[in-house]
Structure 1
């Protein structure tokens, strides 16, 4: 069951790419390298790696997505990496246990729950594209510990207006 949680600002190291649903690996495959880069510098993660959806245009199969890893200390980014902060605020959250392919149904249930509660998202629509203030998928399960994606936990956190 979704719930509303207040989160503080959360700093992170990220990479942003424009992708399609079939080219998700362009960002997803960068997580391990970012974690390794931070480990080489003695920087520990302060939470789960995540995808942050900046804009979604499903009709055109075009998404602007960030991959991020939360950090507690400042770092000087390298290459196409950058540092930023997830905004503070109220988020609708839910956890899914299972394969990421099942997320569309989980997201649909969460969106309908929020609509029934009369909640408004930190999101605007323009020309068929959703522009999100902060829409997150967090992956707390380490794939080295659970290589089968059916055994993963995935947290969704969508910021409210």
Structure 2
């Protein structure tokens, strides 16, 4: 189940993240970065300023690597720390939709948001480098804390895709 898509304006937000390249077949490697991100921030006494997210730069497939970052918003920019890099959620207009349920259902929510965007005449924040599409702002925000709610069928995950500047 998902909410209706909407457009909202968001400010810039610094974050800390670990970049990774992995095909869907190896998604366990991506998910395994979550405790590392929180652990490194905890050791530096940095309190997250928002929910965990996955920022997708390049969309892959079952055997083609995705290029993404596993990150957490932070109150102010950080210095790099080992595999942790600083970043910023870009400001701008975002099309959002919240998926309620198991993450396995995200594909339908992603499809719904993209089809809605097409019907609205939206142009996503995407640039091309060679034959590769690079997303400027494509996020999945995990609104439910798994430590509080381990039942994945009760999770809420917000999709937020940045619109191309006018």
TM-score using structure 1 length: 0.92
> What is the root-mean-square deviation in Å for CA atoms of aligned residues?
1.7
Aligned residues: 161
1:117 to 99, 105, 120: 120
Q: Deviations over 1:91-120 (max 9, x none)?
A: 000101111111111111111111111111
2:90 to 80, 87, 92: 87
- The 1-side partners of 2:31 and 2:156 are apart by 16
5+ residue gaps, structure 2, are: none
2:152 to 149, 154, 161: 149
Pairing 1:26–2:25 present: no
Query: Could you say which residue in structure 1 is the equivalent of 2:67?
Result: 64
5+ residue gaps, structure 1, are: none
Question: Do the aligned partners of 2:34 and 2:70 also contact (CA within 8 Å) in 1?
Answer: yes
Deviation at 1:61, TM superposition (A): 2.2
Deviation at 1:37, TM superposition (A): 2.0
Deviation at 1:77, TM superposition (A): 2.5
Question: Do the aligned partners of 2:25 and 2:62 also contact (CA within 8 Å) in 1?
Answer: no
Pairing 1:103–2:75 present: no
Pairing 1:78–2:81 present: yes
Question: Do the aligned partners of 1:57 and 1:128 also contact (CA within 8 Å) in 2?
Answer: no
TM-score using structure 2 length: 0.90
Question: Do the aligned partners of 1:57 and 1:129 also contact (CA within 8 Å) in 2?
Answer: no
